[in-house]
Amino acid sequence: MKIQDFLEHHGISGNPFAEEDSQNDTVFKRTCLETTFHPAWDKIYGNPADPSTAIVFGEKGAGKTALKLQMVRQFQKHNLQHPDQRTFVVLYDDFNPFLDRFVSRAGPHKPVERVLAQWKLWDHMDAILSLAVTQLVTSIVDAPARSGMHFTAPQARDMALLAACYDQSTGETFPSRWARLMRRVGYHFWPGIWPFCLGLSGTALMVLALGMGVAQGTTQWASQVWPWLLLLGMWTPWLLRQARSWWTAIRVVRSMRTGNRTVGQMATALAGMPEVDLAGQPMPAFSRSDDRYELLAKFQALLAAQGYVGMVVIVDRLDEPHLINGSADRMKQVVWPMLDNKFLKSPELGFKLLLPVELYRFIEREDEQFNQRARLDKQNLVPSLEWSGESLYDIASQRVRAASVGQPPATLSQLFEPEVDQRRLLEGLRSLRVPRQLFKFLYRLLVAHCHAHTGEQPVYRIPLERFETVLAVFRRDQDAFDRGLAPR
């Protein structure tokens, strides 16, 4: 008996329990994305007009990525409905490029634990600013010509400074993207090229004088020192400017251990900005967070000028980078510097940290110093992303209805014999704990039932005995995984 025939008999198109990852789950994206929420949703999502921080711990399959997708969708809806009170959303869910650059600079041949022990808060801030600035620059340079974007002179300077440090787009070359951005924000950097113009004019005058001297036979002055000293003096402002730009670029690139900006790119951008615009401005040239806080404030001011009332950073998939490879100790080394109350409570900035449940065991063992620095009691902490049997039943029922093509839509209970009543279903599903295990179990149950019958003598309801047998085997496999004895 084919599973397809079983589902079509009940008016269901496709297997609603085949996908295990919400990232690729079409049923979830089509309906459940906006209809099925975790009971702690309001605490986690908060108010988009006033972003807040939430720290969520959940085991594998508990729905952390689903929460991320739902938050992104809800923020998008909020932005469409309130164009003057939008929320800028940054997805900090791919750590691989940042960790790879960090390790390559810290020492690729050192043990990973020793390298990750050097990961600091400002490395997170650089990574987040890189994602945010790149996203904002893309929206500016790709916007229609008459998009209504207006920048004051200080805002244009701040945009140029942030783009020079943090724009990491690989869609086009940095010089061409930089030039497009400068035109769009109206940043006039011609006052910064006067040293080059001075040196170039001096060279032109020297060449003209030499040409006239050759024509008139009066070139004796060219063998003296003073003309060349004068020419060198005219080039000196440009040479000093280049030296300062390169020195600053070297310090910035060395300090930004998660960035991909080269010294040459950085120096060229800085040399093109007037020195008066750079005087007193914060630069990420030191291994400290103070300058990053100022740059973050500048970025938020730019967002406010574009109609954004707040910014949200969603952190997810911490256990997936190949350098972490699911290690709880390595995850702790990376995420612990971010657990800083000053950072998490930055004005108009909210963090949604969707973390593996293994990290909560470390928090339970932390000392008072950590607790005073992190102040997790003020961060909307969700210690465990738990699901009740009733919640899991609702999820399964919603998926069956979403995949139904007939009227009235199919229900979960109609897939079972009458003796498998709702009470028994709730008891059985409660032991599965998380949605991913729910989908795996129901998929395995459908396969086992269909394999037990032929197409000539189909049975279109699952009996209690089959439900109990498959559930017992699945629980045994689940316990083996919890003890680390089997893959899930």
Mean pLDDT in residue range 245-257:
94
CA atoms within 13 A on the CB side of 417: 10
Q: Tell me what pLDDT residue 213 has.
A: 74
CA atoms within 13 A on the CB side of 63: 25
Q: What is the dihedral of CA 254, 257, 262, 263, to 10 degrees?
A: -10
Mean pLDDT in residue range 39-45:
93
pLDDT tens-place string over residues 299-325: 999 999 998 999 999 999 999 999 998
Task: Tokens 């200080």: give the residue.
Answer: 154
Name which of 256, 306, 266, 302 is nearest 158 in CA terms: 302
pLDDT tens-place string over residues 103-117: 988 766 788 889 999
**Cα distance between residue 133 and residue 145, in whole Å:** 20
Look up the pTM and report it: 0.88
Q: Tell me what pLDDT residue 478 has.
A: 84
pLDDT tens-place string over residues 164-210: 999 998 888 998 999 899 989 988 766 567 777 887 888 888 888 78
pLDDT at position 214 over 80: no
Count of residues in the chain: 488
Q: Tell me what pLDDT residue 146 has.
A: 60
pLDDT at position 37 over 80: yes
Q: Tell me what pLDDT residue 483 has.
A: 66
pLDDT tens-place string over residues 64-91: 999 999 999 999 999 999 998 999 999 9
pLDDT tens-place string over residues 420-441: 988 999 999 999 989 999 999 9
pLDDT tens-place string over residues 265-279: 999 899 888 888 898
pLDDT at position 236 over 70: yes
Mean pLDDT in residue range 246-257:
94
Residue 392 · residue 438 · CB < 8 Å: yes
**Mean pLDDT rounded to a whole number for the chain:** 89
Q: Tell me what pLDDT residue 24 has.
A: 74
Q: Tell me what pLDDT residue 484 has.
A: 61
pLDDT at position 147 over 80: no
What are the tokens at 52? 């807040």
310: left (phi over 0), alpha (psi -120 to 50) or beta: beta
Residues 6 or more apart from 357 whose CB is under 8 A from it? 57, 58, 59, 62, 384, 385
Mean pLDDT in residue range 452-479:
92
